[in-house]
């Protein structure tokens, strides 16, 4: 929620004696940040609208009778604001004192210790001591909210960030607020396990240690780990992430900001899907079979054995050699992998796919999205064919959700009802392989005269919505592409896309599937998607490889 982008009209106000010029509509909090003046805040998050729940961002505004919450107050031209006046500081100290009244002194054992906004703001803006002498509020702890999320209600300051994330960003309403006043608390509905594919993000945006990761809990401190920037390879979104390593062990993964892909979020597979890295069953050294048993061996010995055996098989029949690359490896590794097979072992018996896949001519060259991920949230009509976004490409759903919040229409076509179906304006349920006929019917009704009335899920109603699209997005998923009518469905979708002036987004593959295909780890394609059957393409590759 970038307040600064709301208007091109500029206003000037004074904050702590400093003149600040910002666009009209900017909040006082953002204006202060723009001027380099820090204001404490807990409830506000810049990806969600302001709510003014924590009250710690109090500032004094001249000509206003009482302190104001800066995160909800629009800046006005000529306004004079005091963040550090005695009155403002007294208000900030009072709110922090109230928050700390029932907050346990768990800092030495709290996972948030060392990266806790409450700690930092207490030192910077809080009172030097507390006047609270009564017994603190006590809750049984911890409460598991699912297999990966743990809640400590004593630490919760009721900022509502976690609840609002589920309501506004993810749309899954995983956490709720219960009771009132002194008894207020966060929990799941009916105390059931949290149902969300994005619950890890609530841990990251929690300003205290109330929500913690079950897999990371009590395992490390921020200053004991080194952080490495990386990219998630679980699905084809390629989300930016941070990996926290203690010694040689991965102890935590977190979202890393990338506005073009995942913004600041990760799905739970990215958040918690690293346990295999530390599995005791993973190989830590090459193994060579001797006398019928696999025994550890140095890398050079193992590579020598592999090379000798491959050369021996090549001498008899190269077609007996096959290789499977992977979607979790880099483009460079995949390129070298296929080069070894083609230039040295003289075979194209290799692939990186282990699932069913369509064999349409040139389809592999179109894997992935033709448009930018961030552009999805600007669409006004989004049509999904055989695609379960929250299951296959969760981060893309967050972009779609943003578009829906701005008034976009969601159209779902396919044989299954995905989790996000309640958000759809239209859904056409088909038999397996029936997507082509459904899309063709929509096309036919778009060409005819507009039909009034009809139910929401009738092709005529869908045609009206799609016909009016100015920024359409069409996504085809595996269920359609790999189904019995895959080629026909893709052809129908491409005709629809051409009519609307857009392209079909081929939403399939995992990790770096597109990179592996581009690098040539396919039986019928050389690097760059050139056909193996094309003599000119083969000759060009042979010239490069020598």
Task: Identify the residue with better confidence: 26 or 450.
Answer: 26
The structural domain count of the chain equals 5
What is the domain-level CATH number for residue 31? Answer: 3.10.20.740
Residue 19 lies in a domain: yes
Strands 18-23 and 143-144: unpaired
Q: What is the mean pLDDT of residues 57-70?
A: 97
Q: What is the mean pLDDT of residues 80-92?
A: 97
Ordered DSSP codes for 238-277: --EEEEEEETTEEEEEEE--BTTTTBT---HHHHHTTGGG
- Predicted local distance difference test score (pLDDT) of residue 538: 92
- Kindly report, residue by residue over 341-393, the tens digit of the pLDDT: 999 999 999 998 876 555 554 555 566 677 889 999 999 999 999 999 999 99
Among residues 54, 69, 101, the one where a domain terminates is 101
- Predicted local distance difference test score (pLDDT) of residue 300: 95
Residues 79, 193, single domain; the answer is no
Residues 124, 190, single domain; the answer is yes
Strands ordered across the beta sheet of 226-231? 226-231, 240-246, 249-255
Residues 374, 500, single domain; the answer is yes
User: What band does 1 get if pLDDT is binned at 50, 70 and 90?
Assistant: very low
Q: What are phi and psi of 489, to 5 degrees?
A: -65, -40
Assigned token pair, 157 = 């300051």
Task: Identify the residue with better confidence: 370 or 319.
Answer: 319
- Predicted local distance difference test score (pLDDT) of residue 52: 94
Distance between CA atoms of 412 and 471, rounded to whole angstroms?
Answer: 17
Distance between CA atoms of 444 and 466, rounded to whole angstroms?
Answer: 12
Residue 345 lies in a domain: no
Residues 261, 288, single domain; the answer is no
Residues 391, 501, single domain; the answer is yes
- Predicted local distance difference test score (pLDDT) of residue 367: 63
What is the domain-level CATH number for residue 237? Answer: 2.20.25.90
User: What band does 37 get if pLDDT is binned at 50, 70 and 90?
Assistant: very high
Residues 501, 379, single domain; the answer is yes
- Predicted local distance difference test score (pLDDT) of residue 510: 81
Residues 73, 141, single domain; the answer is no
Residues 372, 456, single domain; the answer is yes
Residue 354 lies in a domain: no
Q: What are phi and psi of 353, to 5 degrees?
A: -100, 140
Q: What is the mean pLDDT of residues 12-36?
A: 96
Residue 520 lies in a domain: no
Percent of residues, the chain, with pLDDT higher than 70: 95
What is the domain-level CATH number for residue 197? Answer: 3.30.70.20
Q: What is the mean pLDDT of residues 279-292?
A: 91
Q: What are phi and psi of 93, to 5 degrees?
A: -65, -40
- Predicted local distance difference test score (pLDDT) of residue 366: 61
Residue 344 lies in a domain: no
Sign of CA dihedral 39, 42, 44, 47: positive
Residue 355 lies in a domain: no
Residue 75 lies in a domain: yes
3-state SS string for 341-386? HHHHCCCCCEECCCCCCCCCCCHHHHCECCCCHHHHHHCCEEEEEC
Among residues 507, 523, 540, the one where a domain terminates is 507
- Kindly report, residue by residue over 218-252, the tens digit of the pLDDT: 999 999 999 999 999 999 899 999 999 999 899 99
Distance between CA atoms of 457 and 464, rounded to whole angstroms?
Answer: 11
- Predicted local distance difference test score (pLDDT) of residue 511: 86
- Kindly report, residue by residue over 489-546, the tens digit of the pLDDT: 999 999 999 999 999 998 877 888 888 989 999 999 999 989 999 999 999 999 999 7
Could you list the residue range(s) of the whole structural domain that residue 308 is in? 283-316
- Predicted local distance difference test score (pLDDT) of residue 97: 95
Among residues 48, 69, 101, the one where a domain terminates is 101
- Kindly report, residue by residue over 470-496, the tens digit of the pLDDT: 999 999 998 998 888 888 999 999 999
- DSSP 3-state assignment of 438? helix
- Predicted local distance difference test score (pLDDT) of residue 6: 56
Average pLDDT over all residues of the chain:
91
Q: Between the CA of residue 159 and those of 78, 90, 153, 208, 212, what are the distances in Å?
A: 31, 20, 12, 10, 16
Residue 497 lies in a domain: yes
Residues 87, 168, single domain; the answer is no
Residues 229, 263, single domain; the answer is yes
Residues 290, 274, single domain; the answer is no
What is the domain-level CATH number for residue 411? Answer: 3.40.228.10
- Predicted local distance difference test score (pLDDT) of residue 191: 81
Q: What is the mean pLDDT of residues 109-127?
A: 94
- Kindly report, residue by residue over 124-180, the tens digit of the pLDDT: 999 988 888 888 888 888 899 999 999 999 999 999 999 999 999 999 999 999 988
Percent of residues, the chain, with pLDDT higher than 90: 77
Residues 70, 182, single domain; the answer is no
């Amino acid at each position: 929620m970038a307040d600064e982008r709301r208007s091109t009209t500029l206003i000037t106000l004074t904050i702590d004696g400093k003149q600040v010029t910002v666009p009209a509509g900017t909040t006082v909090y953002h204006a202060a940040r723009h001027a380099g003046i820090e204001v404490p805040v807990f409830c506000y998050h810049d990806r969600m609208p302001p709510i003014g729940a924590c009250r710690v961002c109090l500032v004094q505004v001249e000509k206003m009778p009482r302190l104001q919450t800066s995160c909800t107050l629009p800046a006005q031209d000529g306004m004079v604001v005091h963040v550090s006046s005695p009155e403002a500081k007294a208000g900030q100290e009072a709110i922090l004192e109230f928050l700390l009244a029932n907050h346990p002194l768990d800092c030495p054992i709290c996972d948030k210790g060392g990266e806790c906004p409450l700690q930092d703001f207490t030192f910077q803006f809080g009172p030097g001591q507390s006047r609270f002498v009564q017994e603190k509020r006590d809750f049984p702890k911890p409460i598991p909210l699912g297999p990966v999320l743990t809640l400590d209600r004593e630490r919760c300051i009721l900022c509502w960030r976690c609840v609002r994330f589920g309501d506004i960003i993810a749309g899954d309403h995983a956490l709720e607020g219960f009771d009132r006043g002194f008894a207020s608390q966060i929990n799941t509905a009916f105390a059931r396990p949290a149902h969300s594919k994005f619950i890890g993000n609530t841990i990251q945006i929690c300003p205290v240690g109330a929500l913690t990761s079950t897999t990371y809990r009590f395992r490390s401190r921020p200053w004991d780990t080194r952080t490495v920037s990386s990219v998630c390879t679980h699905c084809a979104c390629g989300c930016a992430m941070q990996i926290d390593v203690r010694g040689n062990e991965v102890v935590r993964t977190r979202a890393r900001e990338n506005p073009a892909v995942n913004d600041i979020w990760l799905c739970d597979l990215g958040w918690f899907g690293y346990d295999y890295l530390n599995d005791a069953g993973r190989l830590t050294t090459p193994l060579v079979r001797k006398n019928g048993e696999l025994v550890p061996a140095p890398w050079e010995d193992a590579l020598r054995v592999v090379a000798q055996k491959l050369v021996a098989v090549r001498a008899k029949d190269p077609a007996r050699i096959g290789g499977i690359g992977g979607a979790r490896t880099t483009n460079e590794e995949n390129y070298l992998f296929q080069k070894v097979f083609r230039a040295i072992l003289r075979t194209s018996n290799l692939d990186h796919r282990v699932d069913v896949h369509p064999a349409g001519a040139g389809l592999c060259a179109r894997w992935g999205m033709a448009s930018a991920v961030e552009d999805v949230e600007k669409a006004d009509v989004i049509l999904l064919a055989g695609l379960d976004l929250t299951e296959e490409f969760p981060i893309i759903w967050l972009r779609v959700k943003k578009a829906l919040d701005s008034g976009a229409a969601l159209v779902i076509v396919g044989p299954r009802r995905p989790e996000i179906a309640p958000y759809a304006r239209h859904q056409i349920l088909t038999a397996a392989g029936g997507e082509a006929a459904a899309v063709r019917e929509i096309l036919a009704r778009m060409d005819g005269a507009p039909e009034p009335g009809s139910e929401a899920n009738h092709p005529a109603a869908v045609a009206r919505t799609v016909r009016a699209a100015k920024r359409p997005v069409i996504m085809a998923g595996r269920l359609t592409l790999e189904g019995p009518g895959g080629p026909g469905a893709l052809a129908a979708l491409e005709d629809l896309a051409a009519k609307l002036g857009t392209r079909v987004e081929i939403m399939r593959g995992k990790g770096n599937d597109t990179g592996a295909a581009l690098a040539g780890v396919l039986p019928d394609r050389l690097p760059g998607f050139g056909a193996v059957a094309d003599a000119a393409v083969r000759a060009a590759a042979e010239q490069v490889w020598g």
